[in-house]
Chains A and B, each alone.
Chain A
Amino acid sequence: MKMAWRDSRKNRSRLLLFMSSIILGIAALVAVYSFKANLQRDIDEQAKTLTGADLIVDSRRPLSPAVKALLDTLGSKRARERNFVSMVYFMKGEGSRLVEIKALNGDFPFYGSIETKPISAAKTFKTDRKALVDHTLMLQYQAKLGDSIKIGNLSFVIEGSLESVPGQTGLASTVTPVVYIPLEYLEKTGLTQLGSRIQTRYFYKYQDVASVNRDLKRHQQLLDKEQLRTETVATKKESTGRAFKNLNQFLALSGFIALLLGCIGVGTSIQVYIKEKLGTIATLRCLGLKAREAFLIYLLQVAVIGLLGAAAGAFLGTALQFLLPLILKDFIPVELSMGVSWAAIGQGLATGLIISVLFALPSLISVRNISPLNAIRASFEGAKPKRDPLKWLVYLLIIGFIYGFTYLQMKDAIQAFAFVAGILLAFLLLVGQSQLLMLVLRKMIPERMAYVWRQGFANLYRPNNQTMVLSLAIGLSTLFIVTLYLVQGVLLNKVEVSGSGSKSNMVLFDIQPVQKEPLVKLLKTNHLPVLGQVPIVTMRIIEIKGKTAAQYGDTAGKDKEKSMLRAFRGEVRATYQQNLRATEKIMEGKWIGTTPEAGTVFISLEQNYAAGINVGIGDSIVFDVQGMPVKTKVGSLRSVDWNTVQPNFRVVFPAGVLEEAPQFHVFMTHVAAAEQSAELQAKVLKQFPNVSIVNLDMILKTIGSLLDKVNFVIRFMAGFSMATGWIVLLSAVMSSKGQRLKESVLLRTMGASRKQILTITGLEYLFLGFIATAAGIILAVLGSWALAVFALKSVYAPEILPLLVFLVVIPLLVMLTGLYSSRSVLNHPPLEILRKES
C-alpha cells in the first residue's frame, strides 16, 4: 500500500484525468437514484393526497338502482364529481377555450386540498353559482376574480383561481385546464344531454384501510358486473410508481451512457499511465517485486482513485438532484421533497469503484507481463503484450457488467440485450471505422502532398496514435446526442405532418341534429368551408359471438376471453357512412355501404380493435344503441390512419341502420388566422353553447410546449454525456500530449514555424474529429431511422442543416481542444521544453 501511494506521487495529474472521466457519469446516476428514492418516498407519504379519498369509484354510464343504493352507503363521508370536456367562455374578454369541467359536491378532497387563491375560495365556490378557474387560464384570458364565465347556458362568477388539484400534474393542466363548479348547477348548464361524455366519480372517506378492503371485497362482484372502476390509495400509489418507471429508466440509462463514455476515459488514462510506468515497474521487478505485487500496486491506485472519483461524483450528484425536481416538476403529481439518499450514494460509489477497476483491468493485467529486462532496454520485445487469455475474461466481465446494470434498470432481459447489443455494435463499428481510416491513410497519402498535411494525417496512424480512442469518444458522444436530437425531430415531425396543408384545422363537436342546418349557415356566412360532417352514435356492446359479458365472466380463466370482457366496458362511439373515407383501407373482408331493410348489418371494425377484442370476419356483435339492441356481423376489417385531423372510428356502420338513432355530429372546417378562429369560437359559443371546438393550432402549440419540456429533460441528461465526451476527449488528447509536445518541440528546433506546428496539430484533430463525428452522425441517422420507421411508424425526413452544424461544430471543438493542448510549444522557447523533456 505504501508503495502504491509513493508510486502515484509523480503522476497524480494523470490519475486525476481518469477520475474526472467518471465524475459526471456517477453524478448523473446518483442524482437520478436520489430523485427516484425521494420520489418514491414522496409518493408513499403523499399517496392519500394523490387520490384525495380512501376509495374512488368511476362510472361512465347510468347506474342500476342496486348499484346506486350501494354507492350511497359506502364510506363514512361521501362526495361526488361529474367531469367532462366542454367550452368555457370568458364574458369580459370574449375568449373561449376547451376545458375540463368538474362539477363537485361534498367535502372532497378528504386528504390534501384544492389549492386556490384566495384559499377560502376552495370552500366558498360551492355555496352559489361560482367557479374556480385554472390560474394559467385566467392569466391567458386576463380574467380576474369576480369576472363571469359561461358554461353551456349558465354563467358563473369566478370565485378563485385554481392553483393545484389533488393528483394532477402541471402538465395535465396545460393540456386540459380545469374549471370547478358546484354540482347542483350542472343540469342547468344544459351540457348533460345525450352524447356528452360525462364521467361520474364517487369519493369515499373511511375510518381505516381495512374497512376499504372489506367493502371492496364484499361488493367487487357487483361493481365488476356494472363495469365500475375502483381506485384506492394503494392502487394509486402503485400506478403512479409505475408511471414513473419509464421516466426513471430513461434518466438512469442516460446517466449510464455518460458513465460508459467515461469508462473509455478510464481505459485510456490507465493505458497511458501504465505505459509511462513501464520503466518504474521493470526497475521494481529487477529489485525483486513479484508480478502479482506489481499488479496489486496499480490495482490499489486505480481502486482508490476510482473511489475518490465516485465520491466526487456522488457529491455532485447529490447536489444536482436538487435541480431535477425543478426540471421535472410539471410531470409529477406529488410535491417533491429533496434529501440526501444514502442508498443512492452507496450505489454510486459501488458503481464507480466497479467501473474504474473493470475498465482499468485490461491495462492492469498487462502489468503482470512486464519483464525486468525493460529496465535495461525500453524497447525489449518481451514488453509487447502476448495474447493474454485473462484479457478476454475481463472483456466478458465488462460486457456482463453492462448487461447486468442495464437489466437492473429495465428489468427486461430482451430490452437490456437490445440496448447492450446496440452499444456493442456502435462500439465495434466505430473501432472498425478507425482501423479502416488508419489503413486508408497509410496507403493513400500521396508523397507529393504538402509536408504539414502529410504529417498531420500520418499522426493518425503512426505509433502511439490516439485514433481509436478519440474515434470512440467523439463517435459515441455524437451518436448519442444526434440520436436524441433526431428522435425528438421525428416526434415533432409526426405531429406537424398531421396538421399541415389546407386540410381541416378546426373541429366542432357535440352538434345536435337540429343544430346542423343553422351551424352550416353560420360557417358559410363567415366564409368558412364545411370540410366534413360526421354523425356519431354512442352505444354499448352487449353480446359478442352470442355471449354476454356475464357469460364471459364465468369463463374468464382464459386470457383471450378476459380480453373480450374489455369490449363490454365503456361506450363505443360509432359512425355510419356509405363510402369509406380516404383515411380508411379495407384489409380483410368486404365493405358493404348500405343495409337493405331487415337485411344483415355488416359493420367494419378497425383491425387492431378487432384483434384486441378477439373477433374476426363473420363474428356477431349485438350493440345496445340507447336502449335498442342492434344485431350486426363483422363484414370487414379496416386500417385507419389516426394521424389526421378528423374523427376516426373503431366501429363503422353502413348507411340505413342508425339514421334514426339519437346522435350528434362533428364538423370540420379550416380557419386561416388566429383572429378568424377566435371570432368563430365566440359566435358558435353564443349561438350554440353546447358545441365544443378544438383548434388544431392550439393543440399543436400545447404539444409543442409539452415536447419543449420533454426536450429540456432529454437535453439535460444528454448534457452529461456531452460533457463527459469532452472530458474523455480532453483526457485522450492530454494522454498523448507528452509525445505530441516532444514532437512539436523537435520540429520547432529543426525550424518548423508556428504556423506549421499549428497546421499539423490542427489538421490531425480536425480530420479525426470530422471522420468520427461523421461516423457518429451516420450511426445516429440509421438508428433514428429504424426507430422512426419500425417503432414510431412515422415518416423519416431528418433535417440536413442541423446535421451539418453538428458536423462542423464538433470537429472544430475537437481541433480547438487539440490545439489548446499544444499551446505550451508555441509559448515557450524550445530549449526550456527540451530540458524538461530530457
Chain B
Amino acid sequence: MTTKPVLIESRGISKSFGSFLANDSINFDILEGEIHGLLGENGAGKSTFVKMVYGLLEPSNGTFYWNGKKIIIGSPQEARNFGIGMVFQHFTLFPTLTVIENIELALNDKFTTHELRDTIIKKSAEFGITVDPDIYIRDLSVGEQQRVEILRCLLQNPKLLIMDEPTSVLTPQESEQLFSVLKKLSKTGCSILFISHKLKEIKKITQRATILRGGCVVSTVETADVSTEQLAKMMVGSNPQNVKPKTARKSGDILVKISGLNKPADNPFATALYNISLNVKAGEIIGIAGIAGNGQSELMEVLSGEWRSTETFDVFDVFGTDIRNYSPHKRRQLGIGFLPEERHGHSAVTNMKLTENTLLTNHNSPLIQKNNVVKNENLEKLTNDIIDKYDIRTPFRNPQASSLSGGNLQKFVIGREIIKKPRVFFVAQPTWGVDIGATKFIRNSLIDLANDGCGIIVISQDLEELFELADNICVLFRGKLSESKPLQELTSEKIGMLMGGEELHSESQGH
C-alpha cells in the first residue's frame, strides 16, 4: 500500500488563535487513491486543520506539499484549482433550486444546461449516486442532499475530497451507501480525507488514519492493524471510564402523559409535529432517536413550555396536573427539569457569569430572591454547590460561562437542573460536543437520577448514547413519533430503518 505516491503532505502545519494553539506542528501525508481518516474528539483540532487544507484559514506556520511541490492554498477557489474538494458538515445547497441549478451555480466552467445534465447523469451512474437532476433540493432527504454535494465536488474532478463528519446526519443505512460511493471513488484514484470521531467508521472505511489530540498528531496508523480500543485510547489519551450498568429498575407509576400533540410549523424551516403520544413512568428513561431536523427542537419546546397550546394539544399531564398552559418556571416549580440541546444562548448565556447562569433557572426560588431582589450569598452558594458536586473545572472563581470548556459547561447546566432533584427530567442531546470523560459523567448522572425514581426523556441523535441509557426507545421522523419499544427488542438496524422513515413490520424478516 505504501508504494502509492504521496498526494499531499502537511509539514509542521500550526495554527494559533490569539494565545490558543489549535494545531501544533501537524505532520502527515495522504497517498493517491487512499481513504485517510482524521480522528479526534471535539476540539482536537480536526476542523481547523481541514479548513487550512481547503484554504479557509491560513496556517500560522508550516507548509503543504502537493505532489512534492510546496504550495500555498490561499482560498477555497485556489484549493479547487489544485483539485481539492470539500463536503461540509452543514450543507451549502439552496433548497428552492433544483439539483442541476445548484450544481451549475458552483461550477467555474461554463457548461450548457444540456451538457451539464448529461455529465451529471454519467457521473452519477459511474459512482452509483442516483439522483434526479431536476428535483428541488427541499424535496430531498438529508442523505440525498449529501450525495448532491458529493456529486457537485465530483464534477470538478477532484484529486482530494474532504468529508467533514459526513455520517453525523445520516441513518446507519445511508452511511453504508455513502461508504460504497467513497470506496468506488477511491478506486478511480481520488484520495479522500475522512473526518470523524466515530471509531467504527474509521476502522471500517479508511486504510490509514491520523489521530489528533489537543491539536497534536498522536500517531498515524494502518487501521487494519489496530483495534477500536487502541484507537479510542489514542484519541482520548487514557482508558475511557465506562458507563455504569443500569440497575434493573422497577417501573413505577406513570408520571408523564402526553397524547394528541400537534404543533404546526411556525416558520418555513420548522418541522410540524403530528399526533404524538408518549408516557413516562417513574424510574424510566425513554430515548427519542432521530436525525436532526425531524422535530427534535420543536418537541423540546413543547416539553419545556417555551411553546404552549391547548387547542392543538390534547393531553399533557405531569403528576396528574394539566400543564399545557404552564410557563417554563411554573413547570420547574412543579418539579420538572428540562434542558434544551443548545448551550450557547439557550440553556446558558455564555457572556454571563456562572452565578447569573444559575439564576437563569432559579429566579423564582424563595431561597434565591425575595421581593424581586436577588440574594447574592445564596446564589453564590448554590453555584458553588453545583461546581463542587459535579466536578466542574473553572479557571477562577465565578468566571463567565464562555471560559468553560464545552464539556464543563454542559456538566454545569445539567448539574444545575439535577441538583434540584427533579421528579421528571427532559433533556436533549445531553453529551453533544462534549469530551468522552464528561460524556461518561453525564450519562452516569442521568442513570443515577432514574435510579432515584425520576422519569426521564432523552432526545438524542447518538444511538450509542440511547443504547447506554434508555429503557425504551422511539424514533422521531418528520414530526411523527414511532411507538416506544423496549431496548431488548431493538437493534441499530431497526432503529436506522425507523430513522429513515420506514415502518417496522413487527414480524418481518426476523434477524
Is this pair of chains taken from one and the same complex?
no
